[in-house]
Homo-oligomer: A and B are copies of this chain.
Amino acid sequence: MKAHTEYLWFETDRAEEFVRITDEVADMVKRSGIEDGFVLVSAMHITAAVYVNDWEGGLIEDIHEWLDGLAPKANYRHHRTGEDNGEAHLKNLIMHHQVTVPITDGHLDLGPWQQIFYAEFDGQRRKRVILKALGI
């Protein structure tokens, strides 16, 4: 059995920004030498998510707007600490901070339209995603 770990760093230009990372994850899986197993793709921050969905600009804008409705900017209790990012924590919870991608025959075993995204909700500073592959 093999385990292989890498980290991806992000520093987005905008506070909220979605970044496609399918190719980075696929390259890491090649470097791992794992033919059959899983790769965990997991944000290491509590105001960012990782999700799998469509690489289509209109939909990506729809997701931003939809999340603004479900987790609006507001006067959260959390802001008493001096923070102003309460809604970014709630967006992390809706979107979930991680996905597990299956590896088959040395490749990401994704459906035809599935793309992996890093979803930043409180950016403009350095943040990290862990990639850990486990398998044979």
Q: Which A residues are closer than 8 A to B by beta carbons?
A: 1, 3, 5, 36-38, 40, 42-46, 51-54, 56-59, 61-63, 66, 70-71, 76-81, 86, 89-90, 92-100, 102, 104, 109-114, 128, 130, 132, 134-136
Contact = CB atoms under 8 A, between A and B. Distances in A.
A45 B115 CA distance: 10
Contacts of A86: 59, 62
Closest 7 CB pairs of A and B: A44-B111, A58-B77, A3-B36, A59-B78, A102-B132, A1-B1, A58-B78
> Chain A binding site: helix, strand, loop or mixed by DSSP?
mixed
B113 A45 contact: yes
The count of identical subunits is 3
B3 A45 contact: no
A48 to B, nearest CB: 9
